[in-house]
Structure 1
Amino acid sequence: MAKAKSAPASSAGGMLPWLALALLLLVADQLTKTLVLGYYQLGDSTVVTPFFNLVRVHNFGAAFSFLASAGGWQRWFFTALGLAAALFIVWMLRAHAGQKLFSFALACILGGALGNVIDRLMHGYVVDFLDFHWAGWHFPAFNLADSAITVGAVCLVLDELLRVRHSQ
Protein backbone atom coordinates (compact mmCIF):
# COMPACT_ATOMS: atom_id res chain seq x y z
CA MET A 1 0.00 0.00 0.00
CA ALA A 2 1.37 3.42 -0.98
CA LYS A 3 2.14 5.82 1.80
CA ALA A 4 0.21 9.12 1.66
CA LYS A 5 2.35 12.16 1.07
CA SER A 6 2.32 14.75 3.80
CA ALA A 7 1.65 18.33 2.82
CA PRO A 8 4.84 20.28 2.19
CA ALA A 9 5.82 23.02 4.60
CA SER A 10 5.18 25.49 1.81
CA SER A 11 1.45 24.70 1.65
CA ALA A 12 -1.18 27.23 2.62
CA GLY A 13 -1.33 25.73 6.13
CA GLY A 14 2.39 26.28 6.57
CA MET A 15 2.04 29.98 5.91
CA LEU A 16 -0.82 30.53 8.39
CA PRO A 17 1.49 31.34 11.34
CA TRP A 18 3.26 33.92 9.18
CA LEU A 19 -0.03 35.46 8.07
CA ALA A 20 -1.09 35.53 11.73
CA LEU A 21 2.11 37.41 12.62
CA ALA A 22 1.47 39.88 9.81
CA LEU A 23 -2.10 40.36 11.07
CA LEU A 24 -0.89 40.90 14.64
CA LEU A 25 1.55 43.57 13.45
CA LEU A 26 -1.16 45.18 11.32
CA VAL A 27 -3.60 45.32 14.25
CA ALA A 28 -0.98 46.73 16.63
CA ASP A 29 -0.03 49.35 14.04
CA GLN A 30 -3.62 50.42 13.42
CA LEU A 31 -4.45 50.45 17.16
CA THR A 32 -1.52 52.74 17.97
CA LYS A 33 -2.38 55.04 15.08
CA THR A 34 -6.02 55.19 16.20
CA LEU A 35 -4.88 56.19 19.69
CA VAL A 36 -2.61 58.91 18.29
CA LEU A 37 -5.41 60.24 16.07
CA GLY A 38 -7.80 60.22 19.03
CA TYR A 39 -5.55 61.91 21.58
CA TYR A 40 -3.29 64.19 19.53
CA GLN A 41 -3.92 67.04 17.14
CA LEU A 42 -1.61 67.45 14.17
CA GLY A 43 1.73 68.75 15.49
CA ASP A 44 1.06 67.87 19.15
CA SER A 45 4.00 66.37 21.01
CA THR A 46 4.63 64.74 24.39
CA VAL A 47 8.14 64.41 25.79
CA VAL A 48 8.62 60.83 27.01
CA THR A 49 12.40 60.72 27.57
CA PRO A 50 15.27 63.10 26.82
CA PHE A 51 15.63 61.40 23.41
CA PHE A 52 12.06 60.31 22.56
CA ASN A 53 8.75 62.10 21.98
CA LEU A 54 5.30 61.00 20.93
CA VAL A 55 4.08 63.27 18.15
CA ARG A 56 1.38 63.39 15.52
CA VAL A 57 2.71 63.82 12.02
CA HIS A 58 1.01 63.17 8.67
CA ASN A 59 3.29 61.76 5.99
CA PHE A 60 1.88 62.21 2.48
CA GLY A 61 4.91 60.53 0.92
CA ALA A 62 6.96 57.43 1.62
CA ALA A 63 10.02 56.85 3.80
CA PHE A 64 11.62 60.11 4.94
CA SER A 65 8.65 61.94 3.33
CA PHE A 66 9.87 60.99 -0.15
CA LEU A 67 7.49 62.58 -2.71
CA ALA A 68 5.39 64.11 0.10
CA SER A 69 4.70 67.26 -1.91
CA ALA A 70 4.16 65.56 -5.28
CA GLY A 71 0.58 66.77 -5.68
CA GLY A 72 -1.53 63.76 -4.65
CA TRP A 73 -0.75 61.10 -7.24
CA GLN A 74 1.79 59.57 -4.86
CA ARG A 75 -1.03 58.42 -2.53
CA TRP A 76 -2.32 56.04 -5.20
CA PHE A 77 1.14 55.08 -6.39
CA PHE A 78 2.28 54.04 -2.90
CA THR A 79 -1.07 52.33 -2.25
CA ALA A 80 -0.72 50.28 -5.45
CA LEU A 81 2.92 49.55 -4.65
CA GLY A 82 2.00 48.37 -1.14
CA LEU A 83 -0.78 46.13 -2.44
CA ALA A 84 1.45 44.67 -5.15
CA ALA A 85 4.17 44.01 -2.56
CA ALA A 86 1.59 42.34 -0.28
CA LEU A 87 0.46 40.00 -3.07
CA PHE A 88 4.05 39.14 -3.95
CA ILE A 89 4.87 38.49 -0.28
CA VAL A 90 1.88 36.16 0.14
CA TRP A 91 3.00 34.28 -2.97
CA MET A 92 6.55 34.05 -1.55
CA LEU A 93 5.24 32.90 1.84
CA ARG A 94 3.26 30.15 0.16
CA ALA A 95 6.40 28.90 -1.55
CA HIS A 96 8.84 29.35 1.37
CA ALA A 97 6.80 29.02 4.60
CA GLY A 98 9.28 26.47 5.98
CA GLN A 99 12.17 28.96 5.89
CA LYS A 100 11.71 30.57 9.29
CA LEU A 101 13.89 33.67 9.16
CA PHE A 102 12.91 34.44 5.58
CA SER A 103 9.20 33.99 6.35
CA PHE A 104 9.48 36.03 9.56
CA ALA A 105 11.02 38.86 7.52
CA LEU A 106 8.29 38.65 4.89
CA ALA A 107 5.54 38.60 7.54
CA CYS A 108 6.96 41.74 9.17
CA ILE A 109 7.11 43.54 5.83
CA LEU A 110 3.60 42.36 4.93
CA GLY A 111 2.05 43.59 8.18
CA GLY A 112 3.83 46.92 7.93
CA ALA A 113 3.06 47.48 4.26
CA LEU A 114 -0.64 46.78 4.76
CA GLY A 115 -0.74 49.03 7.83
CA ASN A 116 0.52 51.95 5.78
CA VAL A 117 -1.77 51.07 2.84
CA ILE A 118 -4.77 51.25 5.18
CA ASP A 119 -3.67 54.72 6.32
CA ARG A 120 -3.34 55.94 2.74
CA LEU A 121 -6.78 54.60 1.84
CA MET A 122 -8.51 55.90 5.00
CA HIS A 123 -6.76 59.24 5.50
CA GLY A 124 -4.76 60.04 2.38
CA TYR A 125 -1.58 60.04 4.47
CA VAL A 126 0.35 57.79 6.86
CA VAL A 127 0.12 58.58 10.58
CA ASP A 128 3.60 58.79 12.16
CA PHE A 129 4.15 59.30 15.88
CA LEU A 130 7.52 57.97 17.08
CA ASP A 131 10.06 60.80 17.28
CA PHE A 132 13.63 59.97 18.31
CA HIS A 133 16.10 62.83 18.68
CA TRP A 134 19.51 63.73 20.05
CA ALA A 135 21.32 67.05 20.51
CA GLY A 136 18.74 68.93 18.42
CA TRP A 137 18.74 66.37 15.57
CA HIS A 138 15.44 64.57 14.98
CA PHE A 139 15.18 61.32 13.06
CA PRO A 140 12.07 61.49 10.82
CA ALA A 141 8.98 60.42 12.75
CA PHE A 142 7.77 56.91 12.01
CA ASN A 143 5.25 54.31 13.22
CA LEU A 144 4.97 50.61 14.09
CA ALA A 145 4.38 49.66 10.44
CA ASP A 146 7.63 51.36 9.46
CA SER A 147 9.38 49.56 12.33
CA ALA A 148 8.03 46.19 11.18
CA ILE A 149 9.16 46.88 7.60
CA THR A 150 12.64 47.84 8.84
CA VAL A 151 12.95 44.73 11.04
CA GLY A 152 11.79 42.64 8.08
CA ALA A 153 14.33 44.22 5.74
CA VAL A 154 17.17 43.64 8.23
CA CYS A 155 16.08 40.01 8.62
CA LEU A 156 16.00 39.56 4.83
CA VAL A 157 19.61 40.76 4.63
CA LEU A 158 20.59 38.52 7.54
CA ASP A 159 18.82 35.55 5.94
CA GLU A 160 20.69 36.09 2.68
CA LEU A 161 24.04 36.46 4.45
CA LEU A 162 23.41 33.20 6.33
CA ARG A 163 22.32 31.47 3.12
CA VAL A 164 25.49 32.58 1.29
CA ARG A 165 27.65 31.55 4.25
CA HIS A 166 26.10 28.06 4.36
CA SER A 167 26.48 27.57 0.60
CA GLN A 168 30.25 28.12 0.69
Structure 2
Amino acid sequence: MPSKNNSSPRLLLWLAIALVVILLDQFTKVLILGAFQLGDSRHVTDFFNVVRVHNTGAAFSFLAGAAGWQRWFFVGLGLAATVFIVFMLKRHGQQSLFALALSLILGGALGNVIDRLLHGYVVDFIQVHWGGWFFPAFNIADSAITVGAVLLIWDELRRVRKT
Protein backbone atom coordinates (compact mmCIF):
# COMPACT_ATOMS: atom_id res chain seq x y z
CA MET A 1 0.00 0.00 0.00
CA PRO A 2 1.41 3.43 -0.90
CA SER A 3 2.32 5.94 1.77
CA LYS A 4 -0.01 8.83 2.45
CA ASN A 5 2.38 11.20 0.69
CA ASN A 6 2.21 9.17 -2.54
CA SER A 7 -1.55 8.62 -2.48
CA SER A 8 -2.62 12.28 -2.08
CA PRO A 9 -1.34 13.52 -5.47
CA ARG A 10 -2.80 10.45 -7.17
CA LEU A 11 -6.12 10.96 -5.40
CA LEU A 12 -6.19 14.57 -6.58
CA LEU A 13 -5.58 13.41 -10.16
CA TRP A 14 -8.48 10.94 -10.02
CA LEU A 15 -10.78 13.50 -8.42
CA ALA A 16 -9.78 16.05 -11.08
CA ILE A 17 -10.80 13.58 -13.79
CA ALA A 18 -14.15 13.09 -12.07
CA LEU A 19 -14.54 16.89 -11.89
CA VAL A 20 -13.86 17.23 -15.62
CA VAL A 21 -16.61 14.67 -16.30
CA ILE A 22 -19.01 16.58 -14.04
CA LEU A 23 -18.22 19.90 -15.71
CA LEU A 24 -18.58 18.51 -19.25
CA ASP A 25 -21.81 16.79 -18.28
CA GLN A 26 -23.35 19.84 -16.65
CA PHE A 27 -22.18 22.20 -19.42
CA THR A 28 -23.79 20.06 -22.14
CA LYS A 29 -27.00 19.79 -20.12
CA VAL A 30 -27.16 23.58 -19.69
CA LEU A 31 -26.79 23.92 -23.47
CA ILE A 32 -29.62 21.43 -24.07
CA LEU A 33 -31.91 23.05 -21.49
CA GLY A 34 -31.31 26.43 -23.12
CA ALA A 35 -31.76 25.36 -26.73
CA PHE A 36 -34.44 22.64 -26.57
CA GLN A 37 -37.93 22.29 -25.18
CA LEU A 38 -38.90 19.00 -23.57
CA GLY A 39 -39.47 16.47 -26.36
CA ASP A 40 -37.62 18.44 -29.05
CA SER A 41 -35.45 16.40 -31.39
CA ARG A 42 -32.94 17.45 -34.05
CA HIS A 43 -31.70 15.06 -36.68
CA VAL A 44 -27.86 15.11 -36.85
CA THR A 45 -26.95 12.01 -38.88
CA ASP A 46 -28.66 8.85 -40.12
CA PHE A 47 -27.96 7.25 -36.73
CA PHE A 48 -27.81 10.14 -34.25
CA ASN A 49 -30.26 12.77 -32.94
CA VAL A 50 -29.98 15.41 -30.26
CA VAL A 51 -33.12 15.36 -28.10
CA ARG A 52 -34.33 16.68 -24.77
CA VAL A 53 -35.65 14.01 -22.45
CA HIS A 54 -36.25 14.15 -18.70
CA ASN A 55 -35.55 10.85 -16.96
CA THR A 56 -36.94 10.51 -13.44
CA GLY A 57 -35.76 6.91 -13.26
CA ALA A 58 -32.41 5.21 -13.60
CA ALA A 59 -30.79 3.61 -16.64
CA PHE A 60 -33.28 3.00 -19.45
CA SER A 61 -35.90 4.89 -17.36
CA PHE A 62 -36.01 2.10 -14.75
CA LEU A 63 -38.49 3.21 -12.04
CA ALA A 64 -39.40 6.36 -13.99
CA GLY A 65 -43.08 5.68 -13.31
CA ALA A 66 -42.66 5.44 -9.53
CA ALA A 67 -44.38 7.94 -7.26
CA GLY A 68 -41.37 10.24 -6.74
CA TRP A 69 -39.49 8.38 -4.01
CA GLN A 70 -36.97 7.21 -6.62
CA ARG A 71 -35.48 10.71 -6.85
CA TRP A 72 -34.19 10.56 -3.27
CA PHE A 73 -33.34 6.88 -3.53
CA PHE A 74 -31.05 7.56 -6.52
CA VAL A 75 -29.56 10.65 -4.85
CA GLY A 76 -28.76 8.55 -1.77
CA LEU A 77 -27.39 5.74 -3.89
CA GLY A 78 -25.19 8.18 -5.81
CA LEU A 79 -23.87 9.75 -2.62
CA ALA A 80 -23.18 6.34 -1.06
CA ALA A 81 -21.36 5.32 -4.25
CA THR A 82 -19.33 8.54 -4.03
CA VAL A 83 -18.13 7.74 -0.50
CA PHE A 84 -17.23 4.17 -1.50
CA ILE A 85 -15.45 5.24 -4.70
CA VAL A 86 -13.39 7.93 -2.95
CA PHE A 87 -12.39 5.34 -0.33
CA MET A 88 -11.35 2.94 -3.13
CA LEU A 89 -9.42 5.70 -4.92
CA LYS A 90 -7.54 6.51 -1.71
CA ARG A 91 -6.69 2.87 -1.26
CA HIS A 92 -5.96 1.86 -4.86
CA GLY A 93 -5.06 5.13 -6.59
CA GLN A 94 -1.77 3.65 -7.81
CA GLN A 95 -3.68 1.16 -10.00
CA SER A 96 -4.12 3.47 -12.97
CA LEU A 97 -6.73 1.65 -15.05
CA PHE A 98 -8.81 0.74 -12.01
CA ALA A 99 -8.65 4.30 -10.65
CA LEU A 100 -9.46 5.84 -14.04
CA ALA A 101 -12.53 3.60 -14.28
CA LEU A 102 -13.67 4.63 -10.80
CA SER A 103 -13.05 8.31 -11.61
CA LEU A 104 -15.28 8.11 -14.68
CA ILE A 105 -18.01 6.35 -12.71
CA LEU A 106 -17.69 8.90 -9.90
CA GLY A 107 -17.97 11.87 -12.25
CA GLY A 108 -20.93 10.35 -14.06
CA ALA A 109 -22.76 9.43 -10.87
CA LEU A 110 -22.31 12.90 -9.42
CA GLY A 111 -23.32 14.55 -12.69
CA ASN A 112 -26.65 12.73 -12.54
CA VAL A 113 -27.03 13.37 -8.78
CA ILE A 114 -26.65 17.10 -9.46
CA ASP A 115 -29.48 16.88 -12.01
CA ARG A 116 -31.74 15.06 -9.57
CA LEU A 117 -31.07 17.66 -6.88
CA LEU A 118 -31.53 20.66 -9.21
CA HIS A 119 -34.38 19.45 -11.39
CA GLY A 120 -35.86 16.27 -9.93
CA TYR A 121 -34.87 14.40 -13.09
CA VAL A 122 -31.82 13.68 -15.23
CA VAL A 123 -31.45 15.55 -18.53
CA ASP A 124 -30.73 13.11 -21.37
CA PHE A 125 -30.00 14.31 -24.90
CA ILE A 126 -27.98 11.81 -26.95
CA GLN A 127 -30.16 9.51 -29.04
CA VAL A 128 -28.70 6.78 -31.23
CA HIS A 129 -30.91 4.99 -33.75
CA TRP A 130 -30.69 2.59 -36.66
CA GLY A 131 -33.32 1.19 -39.01
CA GLY A 132 -36.26 2.40 -36.95
CA TRP A 133 -34.76 1.13 -33.67
CA PHE A 134 -34.05 3.85 -31.07
CA PHE A 135 -31.69 3.33 -28.14
CA PRO A 136 -32.89 5.16 -24.99
CA ALA A 137 -31.52 8.70 -24.75
CA PHE A 138 -28.49 9.22 -22.53
CA ASN A 139 -25.97 11.92 -21.57
CA ILE A 140 -22.26 12.52 -20.89
CA ALA A 141 -22.59 11.24 -17.30
CA ASP A 142 -24.16 7.98 -18.52
CA SER A 143 -21.40 7.62 -21.11
CA ALA A 144 -18.70 8.10 -18.45
CA ILE A 145 -20.35 5.51 -16.21
CA THR A 146 -20.53 3.04 -19.11
CA VAL A 147 -16.91 3.58 -20.16
CA GLY A 148 -15.86 3.29 -16.51
CA ALA A 149 -17.73 -0.01 -16.15
CA VAL A 150 -16.10 -1.39 -19.31
CA LEU A 151 -12.68 -0.33 -17.99
CA LEU A 152 -13.39 -2.06 -14.67
CA ILE A 153 -14.18 -5.29 -16.50
CA TRP A 154 -11.08 -4.92 -18.67
CA ASP A 155 -8.93 -4.24 -15.58
CA GLU A 156 -10.31 -7.33 -13.84
CA LEU A 157 -9.73 -9.53 -16.87
CA ARG A 158 -6.14 -8.28 -17.08
CA ARG A 159 -5.64 -8.91 -13.36
CA VAL A 160 -7.04 -12.43 -13.54
CA ARG A 161 -4.84 -13.32 -16.51
CA LYS A 162 -1.73 -12.23 -14.58
CA THR A 163 -2.45 -14.61 -11.69
Task: State TM-score, norm by structure 2.
Answer: 0.97
Deviation at 1:14, TM superposition (A): 1.9
Question: Is there any run of 5+ residues in structure 1 with no aligned partner, and where?
Answer: none
- Quote the Cα distance in structure 2 between the aligned partners of 1:40 and 1:83: 29
Q: Which of the numbers 150, 159, 163 marks the counterpart of 1:163? A: 159
Q: How does 1:16-165 map to 2 (within 5 A)?
A: 16-165=12-161
Deviation at 1:8, TM superposition (A): 5.5
- Quote the Cα distance in structure 1 between the aligned partners of 2:3 and 2:114: 37
Question: Is there any run of 5+ residues in structure 2 with no aligned partner, and where?
Answer: none
Report the residue type matching 2:161 in the other structure.
Answer: R
Percent identity, aligned pairs only?
67
Q: What count of residue pairs does the alignment treat as equivalent? A: 162
Runs of 4+ aligned residues of structure 1 deviating over 4 Å after TM superposition are 5-8
Q: Which has the larger radius of gyration?
A: 1
Report the residue type matching 1:88 in the other structure.
Answer: F
Deviation at 1:49, TM superposition (A): 0.2
Deviation at 1:149, TM superposition (A): 0.1
